[in-house]
């Protein structure tokens, strides 16, 4: 007897007819629960864009699962009319690994905060990336612990004055994208709550990538850390401070697209476009170039520090490559063992190699 | 000198040597041969926590004790009849466990100046030569020299020669106890035959050399025979607790027709559960070696949410880490099986030594009111039954189940009359079905049946999309609720749901003795064999004493209270500082008496017998 478990049968029986998916709108993905974030919180726009992206995934609602940890951001699954689990602090990547590995047919999304993912859950976060489990992770970074009312987080810049650091924080922060590159992530991207259209594009890109998609989203906590990302989100400063990455396109930024980044060997340089440099001299973005992605993830000096060269902060997909996924590997091994094992004969297993009769 | 033949009811032997000397393998090979001969038996492997503790020293000694008999054998024996010592440290560490008049088989090469020094014998003292062992039958053999001779015609290096010396001793013991060599020869051929046939050949040569040495050297005054035991008719195999546990889990997966997902992190003495299950992928079993115990249990919860049997295994320190997530499973009301192969604690404690001190942790060791089911296998083979039961209860009641095994039964072995697949009960599982939009009733994830069990509603099912989480749930809808009355209600529901499991487990039986009387000895878990043996002896000696052994601890079997109250005294022996005894006292308001030991070793029969006599006697005295 080859082992067809109830789940195998279940998955076959419940396979969604993708040609007959109902025509859903974003609002069809909102649950009946009242959303309880503070008015003006960046989480609202992210929720909206995720809901808007959902009908475009081409996946039945019943096959989508959102799993979160703990934090303001982690309340997210309650507001989605999909399957969901609001779990415990930091552990969503581990729960999602168990779910996706045992149910590869599902589209699994992890919702986490900067405290959830980079502090208590930093171990699971990095292990997820190295294993490359085929899930999508949305990291809501507000550089603060929101739910516990305003302590600094591992993403808060040095010197942050918060409730727990009245004299300024001393910890050196994580650079979430550099950390993800270091953990051998296969999809590393950044978006912000204040650019909803780009955000939605990035959500869709995350879905399309096979492997762990790590999308960091700058999210404004209006109560405890208002304006943390203002330089990038404010329409006036954004052109100077942010750079949007597009595959195959030169790195251009500035109010009049008058600046660019070029590579002098492995050293990035900001140049003024004009007589000396043209677009042809600039660094062409290539998502599959690991070295370049590493360099981009290091465009991270905090503008307020005024140290070093102030590179514009990159938004978009820094890195996207293919690497075998953990969950696929596990399933393949189990399938192989089932085929090779042919008769998974329980009686033979119970019997073992050596027996004797008592008469 | 001529040898006489002796027939004995039982024999206890102990192999002891350096951890590099292969004593565990020697012991298990002797065990298999003995099991195949139809003796009843129990084993007690004891080894250092370090992989290679300093060679030749007392902390580096590894031992394997085995008692076998022609009658029921339920303990590995308090004292041994024969002690094999491969070096001086082994003698030093184990002499106290040898009966007066017992036999010592000493490898003289392990008693040279260097070894005596390492074992910290005073300068110039050699116990083999100073007459200090005159109360024992001392047999000295230069094993290394004899092995060299046996392998003279083979061109082997010193290392390979050195490595096969345990086979010499094994052969010698086979002769001493009249056992055949075939199953060991088969094993050696299987293990080395393909890869390195000359190693197989060498080992077999040495094994035979040991056997023939016994026959020709006339060093033993007697040869011992132990007849087949009077076991229940049937087909048997030998099995350790961890092996049996693995089989119980695989059988439960088959009988529920569900995939199983083990999320775990290596730890002594639980790792063999991972090794065992990892080899059973063809039964639809997935094993995930996570980054830590928190991820391990979390992944199992994720799998369980998706409709698999989520299992996680560990020992005390790892269980402590899993606490928060187990609480989540209690809230989510998902099936989860947590295996705790207990070891001596607290903290890292003594990893390779046994203890039963995690019972309170199992029952109470989480934040908040967090009721779950606690089970405990009573012997190596019983790990099969209770592993199966853990899965059955978790699935049938949508609740986390903690199984408390321990290092003693996990590594110990016994003959097992294994069941047939057809004799095992099916475990019935039904997922919540799909709903169409036109269905009037919305799906309520926390709606319950009469046993208070909610439905297993797995992703992929149309129309029942819903959210669960660790925040308090509103009964029925499962929506987040901070309502005070609802919290009281849900707390009661989770407790009552756990208590309802009592309707789905067997009633407590008396293992031995009457259902009422003077004294009841109440045990749980791995102490079964010892308590059974002790109570048997006490009854023979005239005490009105019975024995009951708990395998279902939380909730207790429904008839337990009545049973306990039918005895004048209840005595609770445990390898801890008094945990079940506290549960019994507080639950049933009876003055149950503790008998405790925490030395990292199981109770000995005579020590427990004496302790029970004392406890029982004291009370009688104070009453008069
Ligand atoms: C084990 C545990 N420790 C601490 C907490 C308290 N806690 C809840 S949320 C949180 C920080 C959340 O910060 P973040 O992940 O950045 O989420 P945000 O609220 O900012 O969205 C902490 C420390 C907890 N719930 N569980
Ligand atoms: S505290 Fe901050 S992050 Fe949390 S809901 Fe309010 S604004 Fe949003
Ligand atoms: Mg935060």
Would the CB atoms of B280 and A334 count as touching at under 8 Å? Answer: no
Closest C-alpha residue for ligand 2 atom 6: A38
Q: How far apart are CA B457 and CA B106, in angstroms?
A: 64
For chain B, the average pLDDT equals 95
Q: pLDDT tier at A1 (50, 70, 90 boundaries)?
A: very low
Q: pLDDT tier at A185 (50, 70, 90 boundaries)?
A: very high
Ligand nearest to the CA of A92: 1
Q: Does A199 map to a domain?
A: yes
Would the CB atoms of A96 and B36 count as touching at under 8 Å? Answer: no
Span B489-500, mean pLDDT?
98
The dihedral formed by the CA atoms of A69, A71, A75 and A76, expressed in degrees to the nearest 10: -80
- Are A265 and A117 in the same domain? no
Task: From A177, A175, A112, select the one nearest A147 (Cα to Cα).
Answer: A112
Q: Give the neighbor-by-neighbor strand order of the sheet with B234-240.
A: A356-358, B234-240, B413-416
- Asked if residues A136 and A65 have their Cβ atoms less than 8 Å apart, the reply is no
Span A182-206, mean pLDDT?
98
Determine phi and psi for B345, rounding to 5 degrees: -125, -165
pLDDT of residue B624: 38
Q: How far apart are CA B59 and CA B90, in angstroms?
A: 9
- Asked if residues B504 and B393 have their Cβ atoms less than 8 Å apart, the reply is yes
Task: From A124, A295, A120, select the one nearest A214 (Cα to Cα).
Answer: A124
**What are the chain A neighbours of B261 within 8 Å (beta carbons)?**
98, 101-102
Ligand nearest to the CA of A74: 1
Kindly state whether A277 is in contact with chain B, defined as any CB-CB distance less than 8 angstroms. Answer: no
- Are A87 and A231 in the same domain? yes
Percent of chain A predicted with pLDDT > 90: 89
Closest C-alpha residue for ligand 1 atom 12: A71
Task: From B324, B264, B305, select the one nearest A91 (Cα to Cα).
Answer: B324
**What are the chain A neighbours of B420 within 8 Å (beta carbons)?**
347, 350
Name which of A99, A135, A340, A353 to mutate to probe chain B: the one with the most chain B Cβ atoms within 10 A of its Cβ: A99
User: Within 10 Å of residue A22's Cβ, how many Cβ atoms?
Assistant: 9
Determine phi and psi for B270, rounding to 5 degrees: -100, -15
Q: pLDDT tier at A243 (50, 70, 90 boundaries)?
A: very high
Closest C-alpha residue for ligand 2 atom 8: A41
- Asked if residues A111 and A91 have their Cβ atoms less than 8 Å apart, the reply is no
pLDDT of residue B158: 82
Q: pLDDT tier at B464 (50, 70, 90 boundaries)?
A: very high
The lowest-confidence range among B153-162, B254-263, B363-372, B378-387 is B153-162
Q: Smallest CA–CA separation between B259 and chain A, in Å?
A: 6
Is B50 in a helix, a strand, or coil?
coil
Q: pLDDT tier at A3 (50, 70, 90 boundaries)?
A: low
pLDDT of residue B173: 97
Identify whether B131 is preceded by a cis peptide bond (ω within 30 of 0).
no
| pLDDT of A306 above 70 | no
Span B161-168, mean pLDDT?
91
The pTM of the whole model exceeds 0.90: yes
User: Within 10 Å of residue B499's Cβ, how many Cβ atoms?
Assistant: 15
Q: In this structure, what CATH number is given to the domain that contains residue A57?
A: 3.40.50.970
Is B5 in a helix, a strand, or coil?
strand
Span B588-610, mean pLDDT?
96
- Are A278 and A164 in the same domain? no
The CATH fold assigned to B517-623 is Rossmann fold (3.40.50)
Burial-class residue B381 by CB neighbours within 10 Å (0-12, 13-18, 19+): buried
Q: pLDDT tier at A148 (50, 70, 90 boundaries)?
A: very high
CA angle, B427 then B433 then B439, to 5°: 155
Kindly state whether A227 is in contact with chain B, defined as any CB-CB distance less than 8 angstroms. Answer: no
| pLDDT of B623 above 50 | no
Give the one of A33, A61, A102 whose C-beta lies nearest to B306's C-beta: A102
User: What does the buried/exposed string (b/e) look like for A62-93 if buried means 16 or more CB atoms within 10 Å of the residue's CB?
Assistant: bbbbbbbbbbbbbbbbbbbbbbbbbbbbbbbb
Q: Where in chain B is the domain with CATH 3.40.920.10?
A: 4-225
Identify whether A291 is preceded by a cis peptide bond (ω within 30 of 0).
no
Q: How far apart are CA A145 and CA B295, in angstroms?
A: 22
pLDDT of residue A212: 98
pLDDT tens per residue across span B309-363: 999 999 999 999 999 999 999 999 999 999 999 999 999 999 999 999 999 999 9
- Are A161 and A254 in the same domain? no
Span B517-527, mean pLDDT?
97
The lowest-confidence range among A64-78, A134-148, B140-154, B391-405 is B140-154
**Strand A252-253 to A259-264 pairing:** antiparallel
Q: How far apart are CA B299 and CA B616, in angstroms?
A: 48
The runs of H, that is alpha helices, within B398-480 are: 407-411
**What are the chain B neighbours of A71 within 8 Å (beta carbons)?**
none
Cα of A37 vs centre of ligand 1, distance in Å, is 15
Cα of A138 vs centre of ligand 2, distance in Å, is 16
- Asked if residues A181 and A294 have their Cβ atoms less than 8 Å apart, the reply is yes
Span A329-340, mean pLDDT?
91
B482 Cβ neighbours under 8 A, 6+ residues apart: B472
Q: How far is CA B423 from CA B248, B255, B396, B420, in A?
A: 13, 11, 19, 5
Would the CB atoms of A350 and B465 count as touching at under 8 Å? Answer: no
Per the structure, the complete domain to which residue A270 belongs is given by 250-284
pLDDT tens per residue across span B92-138: 999 999 999 999 999 999 999 999 999 999 999 999 999 999 999 99
| pLDDT of B1 above 60 | no
Token reading at A276: 């000396």
Q: Looking at domain B4-225, which of 3.90.180.10, 3.40.920.10, 2.60.40.10, 3.50.50.60 is its CATH number?
A: 3.40.920.10
Token reading at B621: 């005295």
Q: pLDDT tier at A303 (50, 70, 90 boundaries)?
A: low
| pLDDT of A324 above 90 | yes
Kindly state whether A71 is in contact with chain B, defined as any CB-CB distance less than 8 angstroms. Answer: no
The alpha carbon of residue B169 and the mean position of all alpha carbons in its chain are separated, in whole angstroms, by 27
- Are A304 and A276 in the same domain? no
**What are the chain B neighbours of A81 within 8 Å (beta carbons)?**
465
Q: Where in chain B is the domain with CATH 3.40.50.970?
A: 237-423
Give, as residue ranges, everything with CB less than 5 Å from ion ligand 3. A 113-114, 142
Bridge partners, B14 (sequence order): B65, B83
Cα of A244 vs centre of ligand 3, distance in Å, is 24
Kindly state whether A130 is in contact with chain B, defined as any CB-CB distance less than 8 angstroms. Answer: no
- Are A39 and A79 in the same domain? yes
Identify whether B312 is preceded by a cis peptide bond (ω within 30 of 0).
no
Q: Where in chain B is the domain with CATH 3.40.50.920?
A: 517-623
Token reading at B407: 């290092």
Cα of B292 vs centre of ligand 1, distance in Å, is 20
The dihedral formed by the CA atoms of A172, A178, A179 and A185, expressed in degrees to the nearest 10: 170
The alpha carbon of residue A95 and the mean position of all alpha carbons in its chain are separated, in whole angstroms, by 15
Cα of A76 vs centre of ligand 2, distance in Å, is 12
A357 Cβ neighbours under 8 A, 6+ residues apart: B234, B235, B236
Give the one of A31, A62, A127 whose C-beta lies nearest to B459's C-beta: A62
Would the CB atoms of B301 and A60 count as touching at under 8 Å? Answer: no
Give the one of A88, A99, A341 whose C-beta lies nearest to B303's C-beta: A99
For chain B, the 3-state helix, strand and coil shares in percent, each to the nearest 5, are: 40, 25, 35
Question: DSSP assignment of A298-343, as one string?
Answer: T----GGG--S--PPEEEEEEEE-----HHHHHHHHHHHHHHHH-S
- Are A262 and A115 in the same domain? no
| pLDDT of B51 above 50 | yes
pLDDT of residue B2: 64
The CATH fold assigned to B237-423 is Rossmann fold (3.40.50)
Ligand nearest to the CA of A193: 2
The runs of H, that is alpha helices, within B398-526 are: 407-411, 484-499
Q: Does A291 map to a domain?
A: yes
Q: Is the ipTM of this complex over 0.95?
A: yes
The dihedral formed by the CA atoms of B343, B349, B353 and B358, expressed in degrees to the nearest 10: -20
The lowest-confidence range among A18-22, B252-256, B291-295 is A18-22
Q: How far apart are CA A267 and CA A68, in angstroms?
A: 39
Q: How far apart are CA A93 and CA A131, in angstroms?
A: 11
Closest ligand 1 atom to Cα of A142: 20
Closest C-alpha residue for ligand 2 atom 1: A146
**What are the chain A neighbours of B280 within 8 Å (beta carbons)?**
349
- Are A139 and A278 in the same domain? no
User: What does the buried/exposed string (b/e) look like for A302-341 if buried means 16 or more CB atoms within 10 Å of the residue's CB?
Assistant: ebeeeeeebbbbbbbbbbbbeeebbbbebbeebeebbeee
Domain count, chain A: 2
Q: Does A134 map to a domain?
A: yes
Q: Smallest CA–CA separation between B384 and chain A, in Å?
A: 10
pLDDT of residue B161: 83
Give the one of B35, B332, B469 whose C-beta lies nearest to A356's C-beta: B35
List, chain by chain if needed, residues with CB within 6 Å of any ligand 2 atom: A 37-38, 41, 43, 72, 142, 146, 221-224
Kindly state whether A119 is in contact with chain B, defined as any CB-CB distance less than 8 angstroms. Answer: no
pLDDT tens per residue across span A64-81: 999 999 999 999 999 999
Bridge partners, A188 (sequence order): A214, A319
- Are A84 and A157 in the same domain? yes
Q: How far apart are CA B236 and CA B410, in angstroms?
A: 19
A19 Cβ neighbours under 8 A, 6+ residues apart: none
- Are A204 and A327 in the same domain? yes
Positions of E strands within B301-346? 309-314, 336-342
Q: pLDDT tier at A141 (50, 70, 90 boundaries)?
A: very high
Ligand nearest to the CA of A117: 1
- Are A127 and A266 in the same domain? no
- Are A102 and A241 in the same domain? yes
Q: pLDDT tier at B622 (50, 70, 90 boundaries)?
A: very low
B-chain residue closest to A70, CA distance: B470
- Asked if residues B550 and B508 have their Cβ atoms less than 8 Å apart, the reply is yes
Q: How far apart are CA B291 and CA B264, in angstroms?
A: 9
Span B10-35, mean pLDDT?
95
Closest C-alpha residue for ligand 1 atom 3: A89
Closest ligand 2 atom to Cα of A222: 7
B447 Cβ neighbours under 8 A, 6+ residues apart: B454, B455, B476
List, chain by chain if needed, residues with CB within 6 Å of any ligand 1 atom: A 70-73, 89, 113-116, 140, 142, 144-148, 153
The alpha carbon of residue B514 and the mean position of all alpha carbons in its chain are separated, in whole angstroms, by 28
The runs of H, that is alpha helices, within chain A are: 6-13, 43-53, 92-102, 114-115, 122-131, 176-182, 196-208, 230-233, 238-241, 290-297, 326-341, 346-351
């Amino acid at each position: 007897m080859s082992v067809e478990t109830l789940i195998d049968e279940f998955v076959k029986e419940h396979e969604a007819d993708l040609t007959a998916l109902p025509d859903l709108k974003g609002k069809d993905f909102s649950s009946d629960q009242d959303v309880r974030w503070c008015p003006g919180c960046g989480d609202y726009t992210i929720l909206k864009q995720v809901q808007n992206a959902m009908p475009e995934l081409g996946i039945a609602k019943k096959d989508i699962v959102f799993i979160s940890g703990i934090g303001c951001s982690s309340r997210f699954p309650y507001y989605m009319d999909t399957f969901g689990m609001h779990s415990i602090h930091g552990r969503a990547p581990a729960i999602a690994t168990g779910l996706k590995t045992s149910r590869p047919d599902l589209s699994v999304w992890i919702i986490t905060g900067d405290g959830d993912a980079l502090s208590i859950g930093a171990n699971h976060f990095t292990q997820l990336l190295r294993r490359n489990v085929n899930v999508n992770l949305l990291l809501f970074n507000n550089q603060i612990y929101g739910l516990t009312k305003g302590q600094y987080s591992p993403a808060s810049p040095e010197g942050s004055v918060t409730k727990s650091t009245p004299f300024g924080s001393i910890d050196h922060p994580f650079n979430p994208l550099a950390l993800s590159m270091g953990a051998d992530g296969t999809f590393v991207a950044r978006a912000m709550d204040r650019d909803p259209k780009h955000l939605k594009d990035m959500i869709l890109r995350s879905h399309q990538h096979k492997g762990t998609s790590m999308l960091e989203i700058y999210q404004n906590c209006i109560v405890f850390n208002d304006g943390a990302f203002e330089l990038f989100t404010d329409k006036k400063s954004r052109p100077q401070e942010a750079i949007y990455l597009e595959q195959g396109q030169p790195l251009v930024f500035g109010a009049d697209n008058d600046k660019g980044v070029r590579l002098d060997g492995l050293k990035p340089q900001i140049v003024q476009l004009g007589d000396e440099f043209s677009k042809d001299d600039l660094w062409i973005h290539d998502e599959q170039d690991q070295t370049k992605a590493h360099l981009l993830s290091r465009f991270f000096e905090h503008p307020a520090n005024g140290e070093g060269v102030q590179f514009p902060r990159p938004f978009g997909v820094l890195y996207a490559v293919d690497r075998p996924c953990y969950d696929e590997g596990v399933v393949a091994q189990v399938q192989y063992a089932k085929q090779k094992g042919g008769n998974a004969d329980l009686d033979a297993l119970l019997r073992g190699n050596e027996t004797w009769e008592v008469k | 000198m001529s040898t006489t033949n002796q027939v004995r009811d039982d024999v206890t032997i102990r192999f002891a040597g350096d951890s590099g000397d292969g004593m565990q393998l020697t012991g298990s090979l002797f065990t298999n041969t003995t099991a195949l001969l139809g003796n009843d038996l129990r084993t007690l492997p004891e080894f250092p926590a370090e992989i290679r503790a300093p060679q030749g020293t007392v902390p580096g000694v590894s031992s394997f004790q085995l008692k076998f008999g022609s009658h029921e054998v339920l303990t590995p024996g308090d004292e041994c009849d024969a002690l094999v010592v491969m070096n001086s440290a082994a003698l030093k560490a184990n002499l106290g466990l040898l009966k007066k008049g017992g036999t010592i088989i000493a490898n003289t090469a392990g008693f040279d100046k260097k070894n005596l020094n390492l074992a910290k014998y005073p300068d110039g003292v050699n116990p083999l030569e100073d007459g200090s062992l005159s109360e024992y039958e001392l047999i000295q053999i230069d094993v290394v020299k004899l092995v060299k001779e046996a392998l003279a015609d083979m061109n082997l290096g010193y290392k390979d020669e050195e490595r096969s010396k345990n086979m010499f001793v094994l052969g010698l013991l086979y002769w001493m106890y009249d056992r055949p060599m075939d199953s060991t020869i088969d094993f050696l051929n299987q293990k080395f035959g393909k890869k390195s046939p000359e190693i197989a050949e060498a080992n077999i040569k040495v094994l035979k050399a040991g056997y023939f040495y016994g026959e020709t050297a006339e060093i033993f005054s007697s040869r011992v025979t132990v007849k087949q035991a009077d076991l229940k008719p049937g087909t048997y195999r030998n099995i350790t607790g961890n092996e049996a546990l693995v089989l119980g889990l695989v059988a439960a997966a088959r009988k529920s027709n569900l995939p199983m997902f083990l999320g775990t992190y290596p730890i002594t003495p639980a790792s063999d559960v991972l090794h065992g299950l990892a080899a059973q992928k063809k039964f639809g079993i997935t094993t995930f070696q996570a980054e830590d115990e928190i991820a391990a249990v979390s992944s199992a919860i994720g799998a369980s949410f998706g409709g698999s049997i989520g299992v996680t295994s560990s020992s005390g320190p790892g269980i402590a880490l899993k606490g928060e997530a187990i609480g989540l499973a209690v809230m989510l009301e998902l099936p989860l099986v947590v295996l705790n192969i207990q070891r001596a604690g607290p903290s890292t404690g003594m990893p390779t030594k046994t203890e039963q001190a995690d019972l309170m942790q199992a029952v109470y060791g989480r934040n908040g009111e967090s009721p779950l089911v606690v089970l405990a296998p009573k012997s190596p083979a019983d790990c099969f039954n209770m592993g199966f039961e853990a899965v059955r209860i978790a699935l049938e009641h949508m609740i986390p189940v903690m199984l408390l095994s321990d290092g003693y039964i996990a590594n110990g072995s016994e003959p097992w009359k294994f069941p047939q697949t057809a004799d095992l009960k099916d475990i019935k599982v039904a997922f919540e079905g799909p709903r169409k939009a036109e269905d009037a009733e919305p799906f309520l994830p926390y709606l319950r049946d009469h046993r208070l069990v909610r439905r297993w509603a797995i992703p992929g099912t149309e129309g029942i999309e819903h959210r669960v989480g660790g925040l308090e749930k509103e009964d029925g809808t499962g929506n987040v609720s901070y309502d005070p009355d609802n919290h009281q209600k849900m707390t009661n529901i989770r407790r009552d749901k756990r208590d309802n499991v009592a309707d789905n487990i067997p009633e407590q039986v008396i293992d031995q003795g009457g259902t009422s009387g003077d004294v009841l000895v109440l045990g749980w878990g791995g102490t079964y064999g010892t308590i059974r043996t002790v109570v048997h002896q006490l009854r023979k000696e005239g005490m009105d004493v019975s024995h009951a052994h708990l395998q279902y601890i939380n909730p207790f079997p429904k008839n337990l209270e009545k049973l306990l109250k039918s005895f004048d005294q209840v005595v609770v022996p445990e390898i801890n500082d008094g945990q079940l005894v506290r549960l019994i006292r507080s639950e049933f308001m009876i003055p149950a008496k503790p008998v405790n030991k925490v030395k990292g070793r199981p109770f000995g029969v005579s020590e427990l017998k004496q302790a029970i006599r004392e406890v029982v006697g004291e009370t009688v005295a104070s009453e008069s």
